[in-house]
Amino acid sequence: MDAPLLTPHDLVRPWKRATVVASAIAALELVVLVGAGVVFLAKPLSHAIRKQATAAALAPTHVTTTAPSHALKKAIARMKAPAGHARPRSHVRIMVLNGNGQAGAAGAEASRLTHLGYKVAGAANARRQDYASSVVMYRPGFRAEGMRLAKDLGVKVVGPLDGIPASTIHGGELVVIVGA
């Protein structure tokens, strides 16, 4: 029988198996060491975290209450003050905004205001179309006119201009947002 002769390279092949086995053993040792580190460090670490959390939860909180500022008190007093003397209807400009989504609602309200003697600055759509009820808003110094307009229209919600840019009201002193 003829058998091939082994070359020196064939005689060194067992090193591959030895390398794989040594790498597997090293990986297993690494996993065991990391596990042991977690076991030994986890308990003291969890106790320290729990202790700090308990201390933070039971610590007294410092609540500081400040009295309303002078400007805030004046603003509240102005809103609760009686309306005062209103300018004539013909000297008040009103911007009418449609806030209910029905076509022509702002135009119809503008026509009604004109018949009542008011000057209408314009009619347009409001930013939102989901107002449940009509709203009257007034610029500073026009509270009395806003209250009278709300009474004329039967509107119950009256307040200072809020969230409407000056460019939207086209020089008007009052704004009516027509709701549903």
- Examine residue 73 and state whether it is found in any structural domain, yes or no: no
**Which of 19, 43, 58 represents a domain boundary (last residue)?**
58
- Examine residue 30 and state whether it is found in any structural domain, yes or no: yes
Q: Are residues 139 and 93 in the same domain?
A: yes
3-state class (DSSP) for residue 137:
strand
What's the domain range around 174? 86-178
- Examine residue 68 and state whether it is found in any structural domain, yes or no: no
| pLDDT on residue 120 | 92
Instruction: Say if CB 92 and CB 142 are below 8 A apart.
Output: yes
**Dihedral pair phi/psi, residue 137, rounded to 5°:** -125, 150
| Residue 178, number of CB atoms within 10 A of its CB | 25
Q: Are residues 172 and 108 in the same domain?
A: yes
- Only one residue has tokens 């905004």, namely 97
- Examine residue 75 and state whether it is found in any structural domain, yes or no: no
Q: Are residues 53 and 103 in the same domain?
A: no
Provide the CATH number for the domain around residue 162: 3.30.70
Distance from C-alpha of 55 to C-alpha of 47, rounded to nearest angstrom: 12
Q: Are residues 166 and 99 in the same domain?
A: yes
Q: Are residues 92 and 165 in the same domain?
A: yes
CB neighbour class for 135 (10 Å; exposed up to 12, middle 13-18, buried from 19): buried
- Examine residue 119 and state whether it is found in any structural domain, yes or no: yes
The strand pairing partners of 97, in sequence order, are 124, 177
Average pLDDT of adjacent 10-residue blocks, the chain of 180 residues: 65 73 94 89 84 82 67 69 75 91 90 91 89 90 89 89 79 89
Number of domains in the chain: 2
Claim: this prediction has a pTM higher than 0.85: no
Q: Are residues 50 and 97 in the same domain?
A: no
- Length of the chain equals 180
**Which of 19, 42, 58 represents a domain boundary (last residue)?**
58
- DSSP structural state of residue 152: H
Q: What is the dihedral of CA 115, 119, 122, 124, to 10 degrees?
A: -50
